[in-house]
Amino acid sequence: MNGSDTEERRFIMFAFGELPILHIILAVIASGDIDSINATGQTNPSESEEDALSCGDGEEVEERSLFSSISRDALWQNVTTGELSVWILDGSTVTEKKSLDWRCGAAGGCSDRWRVVETAMNRITWYDSAMGLIQDWEFDYLGNVKAGAPLSWTCSAASGCAANWKPIGILDYQFIVCPPGGGFCDYKYPGGLLWHNPISGELSRWDTSGTTVTSKTPLSWRCGSGDGCSQVWRPLLTADFTGDDYSDVLWYNRTTGVVSIWVLGGSAGSTVLRAQELTWTCDAASGCANAWHIVGAMDINRDGPLDLFWHNETTGEISAWLLDRAGTVLGKTALSWTCGPGCSKDWKLRGFVRFPDPPPR
C-alpha cells in the first residue's frame, strides 16, 4: 500500500514528457487503431451520440471533498463511446447539456481500465488499476480538457496492490495556522486520496502535496473481512456531510438498507468521531436496493448540507434525499430529466462537477 514509482510509470513519464498519459495509454492499447485519435489524443463527438444522452431532449431521459457543496452539475460518461457530458442544473431543473472534448470509452479498453474516483468543481480524478496511476482531468468553460501529471505513488495490478486496495475518494480537512503574537490566521486545506483494504479493513489516506505523495495516514477505525464488516458494508464516497470542514466517509449496507457516515475529525482529519446513520433506508428485502444505487452527493436545494443522490436505471429517475447535518432525511426531490432503458445501458452518472462560467467580457 505504500506505493512506488514503478519502472512502468517512469518509462511513460520519461518517454512522453507532459503529454496526457491517459491518451498515450489509450493509443498504445488500441491494437494499432489510432486513426480515431487526433494529435492531441482527442476525438470529436458525433451529433447522434450527443443526442443519445438526452433520449429525446429530456422527455424519456426523463463529491465528494470540501468542494462538493459548490459542485452543481451532473457528469455522465458513456462507457461505449467514451463521451463525457454534463447536465447543467438550475436547482433540480436540467437546463442544457455540454460535452467535454476528451473521451474514455470501450475503444482501446479505456473504460475497462480507467474509472472515475472523484469529481469536484471542474476536476475529474481517474484511476487505472492495471498501471496503478491516479490522474486528474481539468476542463474549462468550453469543455476543453487538459490532463495533469499522475500522483507520484501507484497502486498497480502487477504489484498486487490493486487486488487488495480500492480508492474511495478525496479526504480534505481544514485547520487554522495563526502566527505567534497575533496577526492574520491562515486556513489550510491539506488532504489526499483515501483507500480501503476490505481484507485487512484498513482505511489509509495518501497525503499529498500537489501530485507528490508525502506520507500515508490510517483512519482510526477499520472495516475488514475478519469481523464480517466488509462483506456487508461498502464505502462509496467522501464528502463533508456535517459541515465541520472535514470530509467524511459514506458507507452503504444494501442488505439492511442503512446508509452510515463515518464523521471524521482530529488534528489530521483521520479520527473517526462517530457513525451517523441516515433516517431513511433502502434495503434489499423491499426491492429498493435492487432498483436504486447511490451516485453522489451535492447540495441540490442550496440550504447548506449536502444531499444524497440515487439513480434508478429502470425508471431513469435521479432522486436526491434532502439531508440536514444530523443525518435526518427531510424529503426528496428528482431531477427534471431521467436516464432509463435505452439510456442507462451506456450512460453512467459519475458524480457532480461545476461547469465553469465563461470569463467576463
Considering only CA atoms, which of 88, 92, 77, 94 is closest in space to residue 307? 92
CB 343 within 8 A of CB 331: no
What's the confidence (pLDDT) of residue 359?
86
pTM over 0.75: yes
What's the confidence (pLDDT) of residue 184?
67
What's the confidence (pLDDT) of residue 180?
74
What's the confidence (pLDDT) of residue 191?
85
What's the confidence (pLDDT) of residue 8?
32
What's the confidence (pLDDT) of residue 178?
72
Neighbouring CB atoms inside 10 A of 133's CB total 25
Distance between alpha carbon 98 and the CA centroid of its chain, in Å?
19
Considering only CA atoms, which of 54, 37, 158, 47 is closest in space to residue 105? 37
Neighbouring CB atoms inside 10 A of 282's CB total 23
Instruction: List per-block mean pLDDT (blocks of 10 residues) for the chain, which spans 361 residues.
Output: 37 30 36 28 31 35 43 95 97 97 94 95 95 96 96 97 97 72 65 96 95 96 98 97 94 98 94 98 98 97 96 98 98 98 97 92 85
What's the confidence (pLDDT) of residue 18?
34
Q: Domains plus CATH for the chain?
A: 61-353 (2.115.10)
